[in-house]
A and B are shown apart, each in its own frame.
Chain A
Amino acid sequence: MAGAVLLAVLGAPLAASACAVLCPWRRAVGWLGVAATVVVLAGGVVLAARVVHGPAVTALGGALRVDALGAVMIVVVALVGTLACIASVRYLDGEVGAGHCSRRHAALYGALVQVFLAAMLLAVSAANLAMTWVAIEATTIATTFLVGHRGTRRAVEASWKYVAICSVGIATAFLGTVLVDLAALHAGHGPHASANLDWTALVAESPRLDPGVMRLAFALVVLGYETKVGLAPMHSWLPDAHSQAPAPVSALMSGVLLAVAFYAVLRFKAVADGALGPGFSRALLVAVGLLSLAVAASLLVAQRDYKRMLAYSSIEHMGLVALGAAAGTPLAIAAVLLHIVGHGLTKAVLFLGSGEILATEKTSEIGQVRALLARRPGVGGLMGVGLFALLGLPPFSLFVSELGMIRAEVDVGLGWAAGIALALMAVVFAALTSHGRQMLLGPLAAGERPTRTPRIVVVPLATALVACALLGVVAWPLAPLLESAAKTVAR
């Protein structure tokens, strides 16, 4: 029964994708895509309820397995996916209406978004690490054409950069995976079989894995997957891709794709920690985390483009997540996962809001946009509240999760890293506030009247922000799920 739910979760986006390929674009097909994400969300909630205190749910003879960690990720993907698919309907309507893209081209977009969602869902529900790798690579294939969908010179440049850099990253992660397989082969098991690469079997066997090979393997895996996570020094594609992609695609990439790639790092970390002790992965993650924070802070200060500003903020938040994972206690991992949920929702709201602003203002320069709160109270208000959430102010959940991660870091003796992180976060805080003030505040020009934002934009985004605030105030219903998810990769 639960296995069928899992299959439905993976099947719904694939079915929606097939429909999108077969019919030329019309609004109904777009809403079918939204329906698919709602199915995924419902299925994710059912699975979460099943696995929170029970055993993992499996399907396809054990090839798919969802434990509490997988369930958290499915729910995040579904939440952000729903927001992005609703926005996609409006985006494609606008593009087709304005003659920027043909119905066939729009249909391709609809199909690829669903394939992208299915690939992310497969990555977090695959039982073995080779399958997770294949799924994460599939996300690159699906998103390359989505990034370049607008077809402008800059969009083409961004998508080329994206595919070239991420291919290197994914190949590096593959080499790391091969070496983990090698270590598992020599840990005393029979001839190579996919059973060797099963996540839970690997964690259970991890103390017997060869430490020398595992050290090399984990370093390669972190370097490889961190390309997809957008951590420095492999982040250079991210601001280009996230700023040039259509807004719903940016929301998906920033809100969940980065987190899905980080999920793979978390899984590998559990294996590496078993073989090497926590010191090695901690040093590596602290280094990339702090470097990412520094890169983001330094490039946010003088940023002139608001979509690139949001992209650098994603690098900052992934840096925070890496630091939290470096601490590695169950408390830290629970905070990391809460941060992933909160960041996914908030960043989706901000990217979708900025897509709205780009469509009406025709510029992505911070300096060219002013007085949004007065001129477009709907989307301006959403952007303002979203920025508050992103800055980690209470009552939003990012406040709670940042506090949790810092506490955990101090507990394990990483107080110095937390201190540096706080200083860099202060720089980011100042930069984002000043850019936000520039765009949002100011009086109406003489004779100007405020424009209403359509309800189809306001309602989903406002709901997401309310959800983010609620998660910050009441721990239920996520807390038990996050706790048991944290226990799967931390001890």
Chain B
Amino acid sequence: MAAVFLVLPLVALVWAAPLGSFWSTITTHESLQALRLSVFTSTVAAAACVVLGLPLAWILARLDFPGRQILRGLVTVPLVLPPVVAGVALLSAFGRMGLIGKPLLDLWDIRIPYTTFAVVIAHTFVSLPFFVISVEGALRATPKSLEVAAATLGADRWTTFRRVTLPLAMPGVVAGVVLAWARSLGEFGATITFAGNYPGTTRTMPLEVYTQLQGDQDTATALSLVLLIVCIAVLVCLRERWLGVR
């Protein structure tokens, strides 16, 4: 029953897709532009997740300090936050009238909304928790005794992390990157609220689907199918972790 409920809409989507004109629909200038933008912003966001998330995940997994539970709690908030609320929150912070956005504009004439950078910020904001949680779990699973052994052999903390901890936690890091990338690719609410919606700069695939839905439904369906295919590809990449296929 549940499986039918979950699969049926997806089958219907494939059914509704205009197979005859599928290729010509998804290779129009607008579609390719949105696809390129989505791949670019999701990749940059995934990279940002690694740079920002790896130290945080390590701190959460390895250091014992007061307030760690609170910190972990705060980190997971964007995980359950409605994306449109995330967008409003980002506007309050980085919008032109925002807490940080207004001084940026007044002092250096830097404006964040309506730029591709804003899309990356929105993507990173919503996908970072996925990365941190995934990597923290992987770090916890690596035995501390190996790190202690490395330390007794004279390795400093950084060398231990780089040569022992990270390689052991690598599957978790890779899964985190893929998860963050996929979450970014599907990001809609925070992006349209915070970054805006303009072809080439901020109109990512989900925004293009939404915009096309108002005009040409066949295009919207075809583009949705492209996103579905990408999602299935991600699942195939992660099948070892989630589906238990070995």
Query: Do chains A and B interact in one complex?
Result: no
